[in-house]
Amino acid sequence: MEIFKFANPQYLYALLAIPVMIIFFIGLSYWRKKKLKQFGDSRLLAILIPDFSKGWPIVRLILLIIGLSFLIFGIADPLIGSKLEEVKREGIDLVICLDVSNSMNAQDIKPSRLESAKRSIARLIEQLDGDRIGIVVFAGRAYVQLPITTDYSAARMFLSTINTNIVPTQGTAIAEAIKIALNSFNFEDTHSKAIVIITDGEDHEGDVITAAQDAAEKGVRIFTIGMGLSEGAPIPITDSRGKITGYRKDKSGNTIITKLDEVILQQLATIGNGMYIRANTSRAGLEVIYEEINKMQKTEFETKMFADYEHQFQILLMFALFFILFELIILEKKGKLQKKIKLFKRVNY
């Protein structure tokens, strides 16, 4: 069994230049044909440029595209993992429940409550070493955004896609988020387990106390982070470019001020034998909580991974050099080549 991946996948975006080249070639060919017709009589042109062929420019374009494709794939550096091994790791299972309701767009914590929380989670992921992490997003409903995994690259990717539009139903379904987080754990193993709830706690729905008690009975610790300042802030409305166009209002036309509800978050942390931290303008508090989580007993488990990746870029770059040089030879020797190789008929206008 083998696995294939690229060491530098960001360079694959350069492949987008290929359709641009094709469009440019078509446009240039049309312009050239139009100008040749304006230049003179087609029979005279056939005498003046007897070796002109429609086919050779196409061949050169194809060779250039093939060479460029090999070059891009070579720079991206394809890797083939040829050895599957089991790596022993120690860690805990951690599920982060992140509030994505509209109130998390409030900017009393810069750049916003949600963005501050995401940046804090990203920093946490950088610190993980052997721990398994999952992400649950919630507003009026709760959903698994990332199943529990040790693939931190995937965790960063899924984290980057989170915004307040990801859950269409508004609200703060903390109880449902806790239940889904519990369902994400495998209670047949002995890993230490923890849930971190990041929310402003406002307008929470469901029986959160019962959900927290259920988690505590299963040995899952609950940590909570309150996003927002005591004075609160309005909820901005933004356009497609992220520019604020106004603020959300209630039915009476008054601007809605969203405030942090600390009481419920403190209760959840107490029931779950965890800790409550209130975020401020300089930090979200996740680092402090992770220090506490790190004190939990870590369990050894096995992770299957591919090792001994072999680089494959050399042969691709060799092919790229061959096709690009071949295209240049055709450019320099096109007259002689066309006379010797009769692949295309001469164009008679």
In the predicted structure, residue 319 carries a pLDDT above the cut 80:
yes
- Cis peptide preceding 111, ω within 30 of 0: yes
What average pLDDT does the segment 325-335 reach?
63
Q: Is 268 helix (H, G, I), strand (E, B) or coil?
A: helix
- Asked if residue 222 has pLDDT above 60, the reply is yes
Cβ 212 vs Cβ 271: under 8 Å: yes
> Nearest 5°: CA angle at 264, between 231 and 191?
125
Beta sheet of 221-226, edge-to-edge order: 142-149, 132-138, 93-99, 193-199, 221-226, 276-278
Write down the pLDDT at residue 162: 95
Share of the chain above pLDDT 70, in %: 79
User: Is 50 exceeded by the pLDDT of residue 333?
Assistant: no
Res. 41: pLDDT tops 80: no
Distance CA 140, CA 276 (A): 23
- CA dist., res. 293 & res. 130, Å (int): 13
Residues 6+ apart with CB under 8 A from 225: 117, 196, 197, 198, 199, 265, 276, 277, 278, 279, 284, 285, 286, 289
Q: What is the pTM of this model?
A: 0.61
Least confidently predicted of 26-40, 119-133, 152-166, 298-312: 298-312
**Among 3.40.50.410, 3.40.50.720, 3.40.50.970, 3.30.56.10, what is the CATH number of 88-303?**
3.40.50.410
Would you give the distance in Å from CA 208 to the centre of its chain? 31
258 - beta bridge partners? 233
Report how far residue 132's alpha carbon sits from residue 125's, in angstroms, rounded to the nearest whole number: 10
For the chain, give the number of residues.
349
Beta strands in the chain (DSSP E): 3-6, 78-91, 93-99, 132-138, 142-149, 193-199, 221-226, 233-234, 236-238, 244-247, 257-258, 276-278, 299-311
Q: Which of 142-156, 188-202, 239-253, 309-323 has the highest mean pLDDT?
A: 142-156
For the record, the structure tokens of 139 come out as 């507003």
pLDDT bracket for residue 228 (50, 70, 90):
confident
In the chain, residues under CATH classification 3.40.50.410 are: 88-303
Q: What is the mean pLDDT of residues 160-172?
A: 89
